Amino acid sequence: MDLNHVAVFVRVVELESFTAAANQLGLPKSSVSRTISRLEEDLGVRLLQRTTRKLHLTDAGHAYFERARVALTGLEEAAAAATDTSIVPRGVVRVTAPNDLGVLNLAEIVLRFTHKYPLVHVELSLTSRFVDLVAEGFDLAVRAGKLTDSTLIARKIGSDSLGIFASASYLKANGRPKSFAELAAHPCVLFRGKNGKAEWRLVGPDGEEGVTVHGPISVDEMGFAQEAVAFGMGIGLLPVAGVRLGAERRAAPALSRILPEYSQSGAGLHVVTPSVRFQSAAVMAFRDFLIEALARVWKSL
């Protein structure tokens, strides 16, 4: 059973309102409602009777609330006691991030953190798949893209835009496209393409335009796509900030931006944590250190 769901239920009952609980917890009202529904499904009983004016506890809900409130109070006291004896961060911090965010030099950031906090061990999992932080026991994640899980607490680092890039060797062999429509005649490296093609929609001088591009390879990792473009496999639609960082930190050939008047709004970069009420000193220290370090990298672009 997810203790976060129990904590949300207790807060709803204490405040006698989904809206008030959502505001206090910093969550959407719909997320709070879904959380209560999931708790009821886990328990197999109805805890609350919902009306347009007021919430009413069922008999089972009343009994559960009384015991849950006592249990949560005990956990709060235990957390406070642990904090008092753990002034120096220590323990394990489990972190996940996409493979292609290695360009942000996560290794150096983790190295500096462990030098500062030698009693903390960082377990870093780099994967392109979506990770359920709560179910898989991770303390925090670095995520690029649109956030769809409203139960996570997110700190935005920045936003990137996408541009069209090619290597010097590719342009020498194939020529430089002179118009957006000409991209259809060039081999492209496709990020999450399907059946050898993808549609690129970018904003140019005359507004949004679309073109169907083709290519010899489709990948689901942006870092690999950038490497493939750098070594002349084709033209790519790549994050502008990622290309700049790659030019500084990778041995691959530099990339040239083509048709620079065309761009696509990119997704944001976030550091996210589960919406738990308590976190260890080690997790909080790493979270703050990571946010500050990534923000410095982003501002330097």
Which tokens in the block code for residue 126?
């780099």
Q: Report the chain's mean pLDDT, rounded to a whole number.
A: 84
Quickly tell me which residue has 């530099």 as its tokens. Answer: 254
Could you give the CA distance from residue 80 to residue 76 in angstroms, rounded to a whole number?
6
pLDDT band at 237 (very low <50, low <70, confident <90, very high): very high
Which tokens in the block code for residue 263?
């761009």
**Residues 130-161: tens digit of each pLDDT:** 888 877 889 999 987 777 766 678 888 888 78
Identify the DSSP state of 194.
B
Q: Which long-range contacts (CB under 8 A, 24 or more apart) does 198-207 make?
A: 200/237, 200/264, 201/264, 202/162, 202/164, 202/237, 202/262, 202/263, 202/264, 203/262, 203/263, 203/264, 203/265, 204/180, 204/259, 204/261, 204/262, 205/261
Residue 268 has pLDDT above 70, yes or no: yes
3-state secondary structure of 197: strand
Lowest mean pLDDT among 89-93, 132-136, 169-173: 132-136
Domains, in order of start, for the chain: 3-84 (1.10.10.10), 91-159+267-299 (3.40.190.10), 162-265 (3.40.190.290)
Q: Which residue has the higher pLDDT, 122 or 17?
A: 122
Q: Which residue has the higher pLDDT, 63 or 79?
A: 63
Structural contact between residues 182 and 264, judged by C-beta atoms closer than 8 angstroms? no
Lowest mean pLDDT among 74-78, 115-119, 176-180, 241-245: 74-78
Residue 245 has pLDDT above 80, yes or no: no
Is-above-0.75 flag for pTM?
no
3-state secondary structure of 241: helix
Average pLDDT over residues 244-266: 78
**Residue 105, exposed/middle/buried by CB under 10 A (0-12, 13-18, 19+)?**
middle
Quickly tell me which residue has 């708790």 as its tokens. Answer: 39
Phi/psi for 261 (5° steps) reads: -75, -5
Residue 197 has pLDDT above 80, yes or no: yes
Structural contact between residues 222 and 238, judged by C-beta atoms closer than 8 angstroms? yes
pLDDT-above-90 percentage for the chain: 37
Q: Which of 97, 156, 141, 157 is nearest to 299 (CA)?
A: 157
Residue 84 has pLDDT above 60, yes or no: no
